[in-house]
Amino acid sequence: MEKVYISGKVTGLPWEEVEDKFRAAADLVRCHGSLAVVPIHYCRKDWPWWQCMKQCLALMLECDK
């Protein structure tokens, strides 16, 4: 199964808005038969930007798109 990394703006946005946007994007990816990799599921809200980016870059390298 193809793995698709979902990316989008997080910094400076309300967390609920971020969750809604990432959920909608992941649902669309799943409807097309791919596995959605959602970065907010792998980072904590209280982590600094650099820590999330370090985690997310590792996740992206495991994805097909």
Q: What is the mean pLDDT of the chain?
A: 95
pTM for this one? 0.87
**CA 2 vs CA 19, 50, 52: distances in Å:** 22, 27, 23
Handedness of CA 40, 46, 49, 54 (dihedral sign): negative
Percent of the chain with pLDDT over 70: 100
pLDDT exceeds cutoff 90 at 58:
yes
Q: What is the mean pLDDT of residues 36-65?
A: 94
pLDDT tens per residue across span 17-46:
999 999 999 999 999 999 999 999 999 888
pLDDT exceeds cutoff 90 at 11:
no
**7-34 b/e (C-beta count within 10 Å ≥ 16 → b):** eeebeeeeeeebeebbeebbeebeeeeb
